[in-house]
Amino acid sequence: MMRRFFLTFGGVILVGLALISAAPRQGGSPDKSTEAARLNNLGAAYMNQQLFEKGLKAFQDAAALDPKLEIARLNQGIALLNLTRIDQAKQLLEEAVKKNPNDPHAWFNLGLLYKNSDNPQGAVDAFRRVTEIDPNDADTWYFLGAAYAQQKQFPQAIDAFQHALKLNPLHASAEFGISRAYQQSGDAAEARANLQKFQHITQAKLGSPIGLAYGDQGKYSLVEESPAVTLKVPPRIPVKFVDVTEQAGLSSKPEAGPSTDLASFLGPGACFLDYDGDGKSDIWVITTTTAPPTWPSASAFVRSCCTTRRMARSRI
């Protein structure tokens, strides 16, 4: 029992030291671009929770803090679109595609806006642009097909739906869309065959149709997160290791190989850390023996440690 305690205790201390050494040391407040990036990503988190008003506010704060963060403006447009504030969303999304014509998120959401505001040709142009940027996104091909079908351009719609199904054979909405397109084109046999595929996919739960909620309309319908900001880390602090176990009468070099486990083989040790968070160093003696340490030897060990490092407090 005692041995298990010391082994566990020693392991906890080693993990604690690893966490302390791995934690970045930061000083001062973050700069504006870093804080703006944080606010933008906070807004993305709110959007994932369907908290669009809070998301919009975070994006507005991010854009105000760093006007160069263009995705914060784009994300405002996406948030406004999900809040059905169409005119404001349209202004920001059209601004976004002009500033960054290669951003699929901007074009995709503009396509959604046009599709739902009786501008099917605008939707076709927007989704077509996304397929040029990323030809391997099945959801974009589905929405392109839906926009063509909205204009009763059924051959083009069927072609787009086929692209979607080639990329994702279990795309339920594309199966349903192509079934309707065939039906409205007068091809009842193909319509029936694709409808049966749609029913199999949904009933067997192999796929689900595109939804209307945020996050259910494809990856490009989502707001964009800011890339991780690289923090400036101070140079590493030089570390010097001193073996004081022999001077204290404690052996740190096992005479034989490990008999039971690696921890026992490694022998006793000590580490410095601020255990109680008072800003002063504490010392912990670690042993893997089956019995508690001999306290006179441990005390000598602590005194030896203190000669190599000035401490305000020591504990054993």
Which tops the pLDDT comparison, 305 or 261?
A: 261
pLDDT at residue 293, as a whole number: 52
pLDDT value of position 311: 40
> Helices in 134-246 by DSSP H: which ranges?
138-150, 154-167, 172-185, 188-203
109 within 8 A of 122, measured Cβ to Cβ: no
User: Is the pLDDT higher at 29 or at 263?
Assistant: 263
Residue 7 has pLDDT above 60, yes or no: no
d(CA 238, CA 280): 19
**Structural domain boundaries of the chain?**
32-221, 235-308
- pLDDT, tens digit (0-9, with 9 covering 90-100), for 109-128: 999 999 999 899 999 999 99
Tell me which of 276 and 197 has the higher pLDDT: 197
Regarding predicted confidence, which is higher, 48 or 270? Answer: 48
The whole-number pLDDT of residue 275 equals 75
Give residue 77's pLDDT: 97
Q: Which amino acid is at 255?
A: E
The pLDDT-based confidence of 87 (bands split at 50, 70, 90) is very high
CA distance 257 to 262: 9
Percent of the chain with pLDDT over 70: 69
Banded model confidence at residue 184, pLDDT cuts 50, 70, 90: very high
Residues 22-49 have a mean pLDDT of: 78
Per cent of the chain over pLDDT 90 is 59
Contact (Cβ atoms closer than 8 angstroms) between residue 249 and residue 300? yes
Q: Can you give the pLDDT at residue 38? A: 94
Using alpha carbons only, give the angle 238, 239, 241 rounded to the nearest 5 degrees: 150
**For residue 198, pLDDT beyond 80:** yes
pLDDT at 40 > cutoff 50: yes
> What is the pLDDT, as a whole number, of residue 208?
87
* Packed helices 138-150 and 154-167: angle between N→C axes, nearest 10 degrees: 170
Q: How many helices (H) and strands (E) does the chain have?
A: 13, 2
Count of Cβ atoms closer than 10 Å to residue 252 Cβ: 13
**Chain segment 130-173, per-residue pLDDT in tens:** 999 999 999 999 999 999 999 999 999 999 999 999 999 999 99
Exposure string over 169-195, b if 16+ CB within 10 A, otherwise e: ebbbbbbbbbbbbbbeeebeebbeebb
pLDDT higher at 2 or 84: 84
Residue 207: C-alpha distances to residues 143, 147, 175, 253 (Å): 17, 22, 11, 61
pLDDT of residue 4: 42
The CB density around residue 115, as the number of other CB atoms within 10 Å, is 20
Which CA distances in Å does 119 have to 13, 43, 227? 64, 29, 34
Round the average pLDDT of the chain to a whole number and report it: 81
* pLDDT, position 220: 96
- Over residues 10-35, the pLDDT tens digits come to 444 443 444 444 444 344 446 898 99
Q: How confident is the model at residue 74 (pLDDT cuts 50, 70, 90)?
A: very high
142 vs 207, residue with greater confidence: 142
Strands 269-273 and 282-286: antiparallel
Give pLDDT, residue 31. 84
3-state DSSP helix/strand/coil percent for the chain, to nearest 5?
60, 5, 40
Asked if residue 42 has pLDDT above 70, the reply is yes
For 256-276, what is the mean pLDDT?
65
Cα-based torsion angle of the residue sequence 51, 56, 61, 67 in order, rounded to the nearest 10 degrees: 140
pLDDT value of residue 15? 38
Q: Rounded to whole angstroms, how far apart are CA atoms 187 and 255? A: 86
Q: Which CATH number, 3.40.50.10680, 1.25.40.10, 3.30.2350.10, 1.10.3720.10, labels domain 32-221?
A: 1.25.40.10
Mean pLDDT of 43-65: 96
pLDDT over 60 (residue 49): yes
Q: What are phi and psi of 251, to 5 degrees?
A: -85, 125
